[in-house]
Amino acid sequence: MRVLQSFPEGRATTNPYLLQLSRSLTPNVEVFGFTWRRALTSRYDVFHVHWPEILLQGRTPGRALARRMLFRLLLARLRRRRTAVVRTLHNVRSHEAAPRRDQRLLQAFDQRTTLWIRLNPFTPVPPGALERTIPHGDYRDWYSNHTSGALVPGRLLYFGLIRAYKGVDGLVDSYREFNDGTASSLRIVGAPQSSELAQRLQRAAAGDRRIEFVLRHASDAELADAISDAELVVLPYSEMHNSGAALLALSLDRPVLVPANAVTTALADEVGRDWVLTYDGPLSAQILADALAQTRRPRSRLTPDLTDRRWAVGASDHVEAYGRAVQAVRSR
């Protein structure tokens, strides 16, 4: 079986989740990275898509127009060749505001989707659609060569892409009011969505020397060092559904603080409630203080339980999903 993934090969900034997926699948199926030439001319049995809106994005109006034309050609080819389309739902909805014409193309793509993969059982799928739930894999193997550094007492960390919905500005405001009587620090590592957002964060932190920013894409080694230094990772997303950052922190044996909802509560039950700490309502200095105090208590497990997040299991489930999708297309 030949599977074309929707992400290109060989980029340093590619999400490690995608790279681990591709590598874990290789012993069982032929996997190819995305290029438009390959998508429009090569033979493949399954097109596996993660964020289809990315395929429509262009840095200039001209490139965006070209992407729309290519996307229409791809839709026609998938229909003509009766290619199985598998879509992983990373979010309930896209965090990118798409023009109306792009929304119509994405709706047409949804109609061409054969099978939907969701990362947790709470993600909605279209009524009557074929679906498979495959949990987000861990990062233990990805960082197996990393030597964990010494924990910095009182160090709080946010890492990952910085977007408005991720609540980083609220974290800065809450931390400025935080003072538990011990030395503490807040480190924010990640590339902001815009220069305006970066400037707003820096203005909010002005005068507080405990807050440090690394406002750029961080390498795997830099991320691993930052997470190993942290006593607690704080991910204050206003909308949290699936979080690779939470899985990454847990893979490096660091507790995380996240908003309470059905998904994060289920994750806490799965890996251990003293590893996934949840809070209700808006983030506050008191919540940070309580969470930090809780991380210093003895835990029931020495490490988070990530048994169900092994990539060998996830790869097998993906191959099974691909087979179901191909069979469904041929039976039509």
Q: What is 230-289 written as a DSSP string?
A: -SEEE---SS-S--HHHHHHHHTT--EEEE-SHHHHHHHHHH-TTTEEEE-SS--HHHHH
In eight-state DSSP terms, residue 162 is: B
C-beta of residue 124 within 8 angstroms of C-beta of residue 92? yes
Nearest by Cα to 246 from 272, 213, 211, 210: 272
* Residues of the chain below pLDDT 50: none
pLDDT in tens, 209-242: 999 999 999 999 999 999 999 999 999 998 888 8
For residue 9, give both structure tokens.
Answer: 């090969």
CATH 3.40.50.2000 is right for the domain spanning 2-137+310-331: yes
**According to the model, what pLDDT value does residue 94 have?**
66
Q: What is the pTM of this model?
A: 0.91
Q: Is the dihedral of CA 32, 24, 225, 307 positive or negative?
A: positive
Token pair 């998938």 is found at: 78
In eight-state DSSP terms, residue 90 is: -
**According to the model, what pLDDT value does residue 95 have?**
55
Domain boundaries, the chain: 2-137+310-331, 155-307
In angstroms, the first-to-last Cα distance of the chain is 19
**According to the model, what pLDDT value does residue 101 have?**
86
**According to the model, what pLDDT value does residue 15 have?**
86
Positions of E strands within the chain: 2-5, 30-32, 46-49, 84-89, 115-118, 130-133, 155-159, 185-189, 211-214, 232-234, 256-259, 276-279
Question: Do the domains 155-307 and 2-137+310-331 match in fold?
Answer: yes
Distance CA 280, CA 116 (A): 31
Distance CA 138, CA 153 (A): 25
Nearest by Cα to 240 from 158, 166, 291: 166
For residue 297, give both structure tokens.
Answer: 């208590």
Select the CATH number that applies to the domain covering 155-307 from these four: 3.90.226.10, 3.40.50.300, 3.40.50.2000, 3.90.580.10.
3.40.50.2000
Nearest by Cα to 304 from 245, 263, 262, 248: 248
Distance CA 204, CA 307 (A): 40
pLDDT in tens, 20-62: 999 999 888 999 999 999 999 999 999 999 999 999 988 898 9
For residue 244, give both structure tokens.
Answer: 């690779």
Question: What does the mean pLDDT of the chain come to?
Answer: 93
